[in-house]
Amino acid sequence: MTSPPREDDSVAKIVGLTLANAMVFHEVLANNDSSIRHIRELLESADVVSAFADQWRYILEHINYHPIFNVAHRLVIALPSNPDVDKAVHSLARAALDIVRQRAALSHDLMGRIYHQLLAEAKYLGTYYTSIPAATLLLKIALAAKRWEVDWSNLPQLSTFGVGDLACGTGTLLMAAADAMTDNYTSSCAARHRPPRLDLLSRTLMEDALNGYDVLPSALHLTASTLALRVPDVTFTRMRLWNLPLGGRHHRLGSIEFLTSMEVPITADLFGGRAAADEITPKGDVKQHYAPIRDLDLCVMNPPFTRSVGGNLLFGSLPEAERRAMQKELAKLLRIPRVLASSTAGLGSVFVATGDFHLKRGGRMALVLPKALLSGVAWQETRRLFRMYYQLEYLVVSHDPERWNFSENTDLSEVLLVARKLENPNGAHAADGNVVCVNLWKNLRNIVEALTIARGLNIGEPPDVERGQGALEVTLGDVKVAEAVSVPWTSIREGLWMWPCAFAQSDLVRAARSLTQGSLWLPGSGVVGAVQLCPLGDMGTLGPDVRDIHDGFRLATGKAKTAYPAFWSHDASKVLTLAQSPNRYLSPLARASKGRPLRKATDLWPRAGRLLIAERTWLKTQRLAAIRLGESVVSNVWWPVTLSHNAEEREKALALWLNSTLGLLVLWSHREETRGAWIKFKKPVLSAMPVLDVTALAPAQKGELVSAYDRLCQQPLLPFPEMANDPVRAEIDAAIAKALNLPDFSVLRKLLAQEPVVCLMPLY
């Protein structure tokens, strides 16, 4: 059995990567400066380690690029003298030569990709590496020239255009921003018949426009080289990159401290010393005690995603005592007025609030965030921030079952977001624009695809999803890779943002939206009927959540039936029918579990119910969104619902509705998506979710649904991906159509069955 890699091994690999990166940059410089010896020459030296040390000292003293070569020089002179080290350095040097020979590798953040695979702290810091194609798409749409009142050919003006990344990692998003600004500059120069000066532009971007911050010095080393390799023959007097402290005896919080100031005191330099702060500069370490932040025109981030639940991994790379102290410091910051963020959502929410504090009015945010932002209860403060002060411009999500994500080292569902900060949030027409919602059928594989999609979005006009028809289709050759629709910001600003991004097929987006507004819409027919809905919370109450159940009960031992029946787990091979029976029994806890409060059974049990709605679902294998039991139960993965008045009839009607195609359309458009087909439903969202208003049904309508439930409740349903060919589901839909006087809507069931999030099969 192979033992897991030790953290020391990962650190050693990062050291090797840092040296290899410096060797790559060394060889690039040697190709442009005859005073620098080529790597092949150094490999002929009797002492190759000393040869590299001498050359890098020369570069530091006579050229510059301290962010790259200072750390590498310190590392190489610290290497022990033995044959194994010499062999390793030779191997790194040969690899560097191979990379330089493949010039395409230099135009991408190759070292960053490797670095994030090695980063020992990635799990705890939540540092996710943005893929290069995703970064390209995000920055091309965020920096679309037509959306900015900027003369992109005016270098003095560009020097005041601030782009900042408060968690820059290896600089992928800053690199993409530089590339997009370069494209804008050259296009603007051509339009004005001005000769472009790419050398001056590069210096302007590196010295003035681009600002990066991170807590990992090794990551900033790679950021510096990534940006410098864009134009290796142009030298800079400074780079606006800062290494911020995390933890320590002062419980430092990195970039989050910009919530209270335009500058952050630093107690450690880039290379681990405990002296004054260092700004990372090509010429050398500019000693200062503060890292400044400027007012930004564009804030770009893929912030850490670590959350405060599930063991509280906020700052999880640090010792527990230090972590608790930092969490207290963070809690103080979150109590500052106008800091709209929640640590329950994770540090990503806090970073967004921090960026907002330093973004100019009229500026933009371009972010990579968990898809839970769109509907997650924990993210409601971040949505509130955007609702109050921003016009959302783009939401981009992936429906590619091979890649729900835009970061390389996670499989979590993510979203790309672009939002403009309002000049006057209280103005009459402050935020009356549209949001372009892009549903990718095929996730980005390379930069060419990213540029093609960005161009399609920048020149196309997506139709309004409520009043228009069709979608803006984006193709690569003869393959459709995305559909985009337009949504008035006022349509989603006050509620959840999930519905226009819930489905890959725009017809389903329209159908789901129409249903929530009380109408049945069908492709090719338009609105064909009315459906009276009301919030679920208006008809009943949802029972206790999972944590409360575990804080009040334990599973009973043996086969004894206690006074507390439960429906435990959701086994797709066993939960086949609408009607179910209790499968476990519970016993009240005598004392609280470690670190948890004790919940009283007398508080929890009155909230048990017979109608259960799935709290979490794996859409690929499961079959039922709701079930009904003959007696009240609680559960660990289902929400009990208690209805008042004629409860039995209403429970049966709602169980039928929630498992119908129409019910599933509405339910799934309210999901909190964690990882593709793995979805959850939170209590506040379900309480507000529209469902069939069974209280408004005529007796004959209610009787029709109850009769259908009684007839079908013991018949097994097929898994959701097979719903198009499921005879029981077809009967459920037919009963709904008959009771509500609706036409056949089986076309929606067929479309829903082929949704990638349901069947895990691509549409392209």
Element (H, E) at 415: strand 414-421
Q: Quick check: 284 pLDDT over 50? A: no
Residue 273 clears pLDDT 60, i.e. is over it: no
114-501 in CATH: which number?
Answer: 3.40.50.150
Q: How far is C-alpha 664 from the geometric centre of its chain's CA atoms? A: 25
Q: Give the per-residue SS3 of 284-298.
A: CCEEECEEECCCEEE
Give a three-class secondary structure readout of 237-305: CCCEEEECCEECCCCEEHHHHHHCCCEEECCCCCCCCCCCEEEECCCCCEEECEEECCCEEEEEECCCC
* Identity of the residue numbered 626: A
Answer whether residue 283 shows pLDDT above 70.
Answer: no
The token pair at 140 is 């091309």
Angstrom distance (rounded) from CA 738 to CA 145: 53
How does residue 71 score in pLDDT terms, banded at 50, 70 and 90? confident
pLDDT in tens, 542-580: 999 999 999 999 999 888 899 999 999 999 999 999 999
The residue extents of the domains of the chain are 7-106, 114-501, 534-759
pLDDT, tens digit (0-9, with 9 covering 90-100), for 302-314: 998 765 444 445 6
Condensed to tens digits (0 to 9), the pLDDT of residues 431-472 reads 679 999 999 999 999 999 999 999 999 999 999 998 899 999
Residue-level pLDDT at 152: 97
1: CB partners within 8 A, 6+ apart: none
Q: What is the pLDDT of residues 604-636, one digit of tens each?
A: 999 999 999 999 999 999 999 999 999 999 999
pTM (2 decimals)?
A: 0.89
| Least confident stretch, 223-232, 455-464, 506-515 | 223-232
Residue 93: per-residue pLDDT:
93
Q: Which of 210, 29, 10, 213 is nearest to 114 (CA)?
A: 10
Predicted confidence at residue 233, as pLDDT, reads 73
Look at residue 107 in the predicted model and tell me its pLDDT: 53
For 128, the token pair is 């996710």
Q: Is the pLDDT of residue 715 over 70?
A: yes
Sign of CA dihedral 295, 301, 306, 308: positive
CA end-to-end span of the chain: 41
Are the beta carbons of 657 and 684 closer than 8 angstroms? no
* Mean pLDDT value across residues 652-664: 98
Task: Decide if 622 contacts 718 (C-beta within 8 A).
Answer: no
Cα–Cα distance measured from residue 417 to residue 435, given in angstroms and rounded to the nearest whole number: 10
Average pLDDT value over all residues in the chain: 89
* pLDDT above 80 (res 426): no
Contacts of 600 (CB under 8 A, 6+ apart): 552
